[in-house]
Homo-oligomer: A and B are copies of this chain.
Amino acid sequence: MNPVIMRIEAHDVRFPTSRTLDGSDAMNPNPDYSAAYCVLHTSDDRLCGHGLAFTIGRGTEIVVAAIEAIAPTVTGLTLDEIEGDLAGFWRRIVGDSQLRWLGPEKGVVHLAAAAIVNAVWDLLARRAGKPLWRYLADMTPAEIVAAIDFRHISDALDPGRARELLEARQPDKAARITRLLAEGHPAYTTSAGWLGYSDDKIEALAQDALADGWRALKMKVGRDMDDDVRRCRTLRRVLGNDALLMIDANQVWEVDEAIKWMQALAPFDPYWIEEPLSPDDILGHARVRQAVAPIRVATGEHCHNRVMFKQFLQADAIDVVQIDACRLGGVNEVLAVLLLAAQFGKPVCPHAGGVGLCEYVQHLSFFDAAAVAPDSEGRMIEHAGHLHEHFVDPIRIRAGRYLAPERPGFSVEMKRDSVVRYRFADGEAWRRASA
């Protein structure tokens, strides 16, 4: 069975989360968690691929327009053609020279490429009858290497070295998979600490999280230092000394300001400070990291491609690599960054939350744990508790851990009813809102 990709259907789907301030932070006061969602139809009626780029409201229609602009590059291809040259396929998607000008390999066109690329991997995994992480884990090191575009990163990681890193994990891959299936994957939760929540709400949510088995929580900071000190004190009191407290500034500080602010929050023993600066500021992060050690520095949800991650690692600017499944150009580029992280000995803790990101990144972390990462030290998947009900194959959490995805594919297929109801602006949820 070698289906042809026939056409791409793209939708602007928005959830009105700004009404409850779920997801509010210092940079994004009122997001409407949204997705530019695409469905790849094939010549086999039973086989569709699903992908999305996560957005936060206005402008989702721009990403949909970009998906439609890229679509002709992928329609007409067979799955065998794609599987036979995965890096070539990816270069074709991100390399259309006229569209590339609009990035290159960043912003709207890269988000749209990610949605399509991920939908294609969804197709490949579904055809193989495997959840994506198992599909990847079952590929040989040579096959994984052949899926990666090493352009612009070969000074840090070349195909030979990438293969060595993967070969080194082969002997205990089966045992790792067995353990992942039995125990799931470590995680932390962001659901308790949105900036728009009251102190009482944060305290109550943190207590609930502990009762549910979470041992790592993240809180948003960066709007007001006194507020942050007070909230960190509250959370540390609730969490006790053993649970991890991560904090996230969502890019609002200058270099010196970040260092000063972290001095004020250091007494509460934060595990990491996330996005202290502009996501483009590699050298700034290196300065902050030196100043705030031993507090870790984390960034990546807005790190737009492998070239940027390469430099964050080369400059020793971060401790935690926070890949995003659809900010990077989909699975192929994620593979490059997982291997870069392994090469530089840094753990990958993917960005999640939003809509569909938890569903996506669980596959990336399970694969990383099975076949790439040298050990489990410091590796966690982000979790947020909202909007999973819109997915056909939602995440499953037990006692602060993700359970291994079991159904074929990449898990971001939305329920048809949700797409129709939340489509902007003609879905019922938005017609009511404007009425």
Contact = CB atoms under 8 A, between A and B. Distances in A.
A307 B278 contact: yes
A28 B101 contact: yes
B307 A96 contact: no
B101 A256 contact: no
Contacts of A255: 154-155
17 contacts: A55-B98, A55-B101, A58-B69, A59-B98, A59-B109, A62-B65, A62-B102, A62-B108, A63-B102, A103-B107, A104-B251, A105-B278, A107-B110, A152-B277, A154-B255, A155-B256, A155-B284
Contacts of A109: 59, 62, 107-108
Interface stretch (A29-37, A184-192, A195-203, A206-214): A29-37
A124 interface: no
A106 interface: yes
How many copies of this chain does one complex carry? Answer: 2
Interface string A109-126: 111000000000000000
A305 interface: yes
A282 interface: yes
Contact of A281 (B29, B61, B99, B307): B307
A56 interface: yes
Nearest to A28: B97
B254 A152 contact: yes
A163 interface: no
Among all A-B residue pairs, the 5 with the closest Cβ atoms: A107-B107, A108-B108, A57-B98, A58-B98, A152-B278
Nearest to A305: B280
B154 A102 contact: no
Interface in A284-311: 284, 287, 302, 304-305, 307-308, 310-311
A35 to B, nearest CB: 12
A66 interface: yes
Nearest to A315: B283
A385 interface: no
Contacts of A310: 281
Interface in A248-275: 251, 254-256
Nearest to A101: B56
Interface in A326-384: none
A151 interface: yes
Given A56-B101, A152-B280, A155-B255, 13 more contacts: A28-B98, A28-B101, A31-B98, A56-B97, A59-B101, A62-B65, A104-B251, A106-B280, A107-B110, A108-B109, A152-B277, A281-B307, A283-B315
A318 to B, nearest CB: 14
A104 B302 contact: yes
